[in-house]
Amino acid sequence: MKVLCCHPSGLLYTKIFLRLEPLGVELLAAAARAAGHDVRILDLQAFTHRDYFRVLSEWKPDAVGFGVNYLAKETKQKLPSCFFFVGGHSASFTAQEILEHAAGAIDCVAKGEAEEITAPLLLAAAGDRKRLHILPGVVTLEGEGPPPRMVESLDNLRPARDLLRKRRKYFIGVLDPAASIEFTRGCPWDCVFCSAWTFYGRSYRKASPEKVAEELQSIQEPGVFIVDDVAFIQAEHGLAIAREVEKRKIRKQYYLETRGDVLLRNKETFEYWKRLGLEYMFIGLEAIDEEGLNLHRKRVKLSTNFEALEFARSLGIRVAINIIADPDWDEQHFAVIREWALSIPEIVNVSVNTPYPGTETFLSESGRLATRDYHLFDIQHAVLPTRLPLDRFYQELLKTQQVLNTKHLGLTALKNTALIAARLLLRGQTNFVRMLWKFNSVYHPELQLSAHHQPVRYEMRLPTASQDGQGKPRDLFILKPDPEKQPTPAH
Ligand code: B12
Ligand code: SF4
């Protein structure tokens, strides 16, 4: 079969801050290729819709797999017999409703991980498509199969990086160009706003240090984003990879995401990685008051988070922080955040609390949603009722984001930025430089507000469990691991 594996085009912020290698789609492509298919990847973050339709008309794929519901109807119109299948995090949590939205244009949603299901699914697609739903994790309008299977060992996986074109388009901040890599999968915490733990059923898997080092060695890009939800939860794993990387003399610049408590607990690991090139780190602080942290069930103390920031500074690692703006915030609360953010050297990002399908807040808060328009679920828009009038809320939000952005374009920052920019331009990399002056053209309050007045194309379906108050986080689990087989993360 000719199989086209696609990633949808970017979101608001992907025009500014980052454009990341689509690892999930590369793994899908690798699984399809291993099953003997003729495979191509098309990433619409780097290519246009016109490119997509050209591939459809010229190459005529027999199957198209997307990391989300995207262009299904248009594809079926042009190639009615093409097998259109969808997967990934979002689709796994909304399988039934996106099938209905697509009105027959999507043949099935494959929940969970692509690796195990791709080969049997493509085989079945070549036969009687009415029976797809007997496969694990596969959902069609006819029904749903048993729970999806989990990949046993991350060591057997290798993304089809060679099939991804325009690789220089991928960057994250100043790591430009940058590739992505996984060291582990899953997260043992259970924050209420997050679906990383529900997707993986609270499991946690690690790739062996040798496999990780080997994969890193094969990566051409000088920048690497470690995509793990929380990097280096287990100190020894992080140290063992570091030793392998050092042994092989791999030198890159790294960016990762972790938690304040993990950073403090595993100082030695982070120090080692700093020596290996860890330059940037993201810490999901989420709140700067204990009440906020408890509300999000972060299971970390405020003082621990602040101590972690101190430690990262002492290492010379540049840290970006995320704060979740609650729709309940008033002017005063935004002002406190601005003042605090201006008082610290870190890059602070503010996103809006959004109950996504698959999260516990989706079960608890969906009865209060102010809008169910899918397009507004992007952590830039308020989908829960705001205490301030909506226009005031957006003014405050964007003022805060603007102040924080400007902070990093201040005099000293500009000097650093200019150096980085010049270095990147010399290497022909323009993503970072373009990002610097795009903020105002992409974000402004009227644009935010007007999005609420657009006709609603897709309405989010409310979770049935929450309506009768019976919803349990376990009901949200996509992968249901065997507890016996799971290592216990140290926390
Ligand atoms: C990079 C990233 C992004 C990039 C994605 C671009 C890219 N190039 O991949 C960007 C910045 C665009 C992004 C956007 C968003 N993200 Co994001 N993202 C990540 C991150 C950090 C890494 C993704 C990754 O590469 N993982 C590794 C690969 C191997 O896993 P994967 O992508 O999930 O792919 C596997 C399966 O999902 C599946 N699969 C994937 N695609 C397909 C396709 C088919 C056909 C099939 C069958 C299977 C399949 O198989 C793959 C292999 O096992 C994850 C955290 C994480 N560690 O996964 C969060 C994460 C997935 N994102 C998250 C969120 C909240 C978002 C946003 C909603 C944020 C926002 N408000 O805008 C959007 C939603 C985008 C969307 N429409 O789904 C959440 C959960 C998402 C959810 N419930 O849908 C996560 C878990 C982070 C977190 N801890 O909260 N994200
Ligand atoms: S926010 Fe981070 S620590 Fe919390 S569950 Fe999600 S990935 Fe884990």
> Which range has the worst mean pLDDT, 78-92, 214-228, 417-431?
417-431
| Mean of the per-residue pLDDT values of the chain | 90
- Confidence band of 221 (pLDDT split at 50, 70, 90): very high
Nearest ligand to the CA of 356 is 1
CA distances 248 to 211, 215, 216, 252, 269, Å, are: 12, 12, 10, 12, 18
- Return the CATH fold of 170-476: TIM Barrel (3.20.20)
Given 3.30.450.40, 3.40.50.720, 3.40.50.280, 3.40.1190.20, which CATH number is that of 2-144? 3.40.50.280
What is the tens place of the pLDDT at every residue in 352-404? 999 999 999 999 998 899 999 988 998 999 999 999 999 999 999 999 988 88
Cα–Cα distance for residue pair 387/446, rounded to 1 Å: 18
Least confident piece of the model among 136-150, 190-204, 435-449: 435-449
Residue 490 has a pLDDT of 44
CB-based burial, 274-283: b 16+ in 10 Å, e otherwise: bebebbbbbb
Residues of the chain with pLDDT > 90: what percent?
Answer: 76
Mean pLDDT, residues 128-135: 93
- Residue 245, ligand 2, Cβ within 6 A: no
Q: Residue 293 CA: which ligand is closest?
A: 2
Report CA(89)–ligand 1 centroid distance (Å): 6
Instruction: Among 7-11, 167-171, 265-269, 395-399, name the one with the lowest average pLDDT.
Output: 7-11
- Evaluate if residue 17 carries a pLDDT over 90: no
Q: Is residue 293 pLDDT above 60, yes or no?
A: yes
Tell the residue nearest (CA) to atom 4 of ligand 2. Answer: 191
Eight-class DSSP state of 45: T
Residue 408 and residue 417 in contact, taking contact as beta carbons nearer than 8 Å:
yes
Tell me how far apart the alpha carbons of residues 276 and 389 are, in angstroms, rounded to a whole number: 49
Which residue's CA is minimally distant from atom 22 of ligand 1? 227
Average pLDDT over residues 15-31: 91
> Where do the CATH 3.40.50.280 domains begin and end in the chain?
2-144
pLDDT at 408: 66
Q: Cα(196) to centroid of ligand 1, in Å? A: 9
How far, in whole angstroms, is CA 54 from its chain's centroid?
A: 28
Give the C-alpha separation, 168 to 178, whole Å. 8
Identify which of 234, 239, 220 has the alpha carbon closest to the alpha carbon of residue 181.
Answer: 220
Point out the ligand 1 atom lying closest to the alpha carbon of residue 379.
71
Among the listed residues 215, 484, 467, 483, the one whose alpha carbon sits nearest the alpha carbon of residue 362: 467
Q: What is the pLDDT of residue 491?
A: 45
State both tokens at 390. 């909506």
Residues 6, 55 contacting (CB under 8 angstroms)? no
Find the 88 Cα to ligand 1 centroid distance in Å: 7
What confidence category does residue 169 fall into, taking pLDDT thresholds of 50, 70 and 90? very high
Nearest-angstrom CA–CA distance, 27 and 346: 34
Question: What tokens were used for 265?
Answer: 């607990």
Task: Using pLDDT thresholds of 50, 70 and 90, give the confidence band for residue 12.
Answer: low
Q: Which pairing describes strands 178-181 and 223-226: parallel, antiparallel, or unpaired?
A: parallel
- Of all atoms in ligand 2, which is nearest to the CA of residue 229? 7
- Across 124-209, the runs of DSSP E, i.e. the strands, are 138-140, 143-144, 171-172, 178-181, 184-185, 205-206
pLDDT-derived band at 301, boundaries 50, 70, 90: very high
Contact 117, 110 (CB under 8 A): yes
Atom of ligand 2 nearest to the CA of 257: 2
Cβ of residue 424 lying under 6 Å from some atom of ligand 1: no
Q: How does residue 345 score in pLDDT terms, banded at 50, 70 and 90?
A: confident
Of 425 and 42, the structure prediction assigns the larger pLDDT to: 42
Q: Say how many Å lie between the CA of residue 125 and the centre of ligand 2.
A: 36
Residue 454: predicted pLDDT: 92
Indicate where the chain has its CATH 3.20.20.70 domain(s).
170-476
In whole angstroms, what is the distance from residue 97 CA to residue 338 CA? 39
DSSP string, 51-105: HHHHHHHHH--SEEEESSS-SHHHHHHH-TTSEEEEESHHHHHTHHHHHHHHTTS
**Looking at 43-52, 369-378, 423-432, which range is the least confident one?**
423-432
Instruction: Report the atom number in ligand 1 closest to the C-alpha of 110.
Output: 47
First to last CA, the chain: 46
Ligand 2 contact, 85 CB (< 6 A): no
By residue count, the chain amounts to: 491
Q: What is the mean pLDDT of residues 28-47?
A: 97
Query: Torsions phi, psi of 18, nearest 5?
Result: -160, 155
Find the helix packing angle between 267-276 and 302-315, rounded to 10°.
Answer: 30
Report, as an integer, the average pLDDT of 140-153: 95
Integer Cα distance of 310 and 282 in angstroms: 14
